[in-house]
Structure 1
Amino acid sequence: MSEPGVVPWWDEEDYPAAEHDADCQAIDAAWAEPGENIPLEVVLAEFGDTDLLAS
């Protein structure tokens, strides 16, 4: 797994900015420590709202 906020070099070309930002947020969320606030949008983008509703 890469460092927080770092996208692997092979994804840099032809990588839409919005997708890059979303992936960086997901990577940051994966590195989050217990007790850190993770934006709801990142959680929903990563896991989908149906997964949260089912639990």
Structure 2
Amino acid sequence: MTSGSEYTFACPECGESIPVNTAMRDALVENGCVVCSASVPPTAFSETTPDRQSV
């Protein structure tokens, strides 16, 4: 199974914003922000779609 679901995490406390996969999303909700240690609610994530740009 591939990690097709990608999210953008935006910490409600420190404002840090990073792309994460499903496993990292779950870890952030369970353990808190890796930058400021604030609790992370499930609403701190928005689903993103992979970039498919042709150059």
- Tell me, yes or no, whether TM beats 0.5: no
Structure that is richer in helix per residue: 1
Structure scoring higher RCO (CA < 8 A, sep ≥ 6) equals 2
Structure that is richer in strand per residue: 2
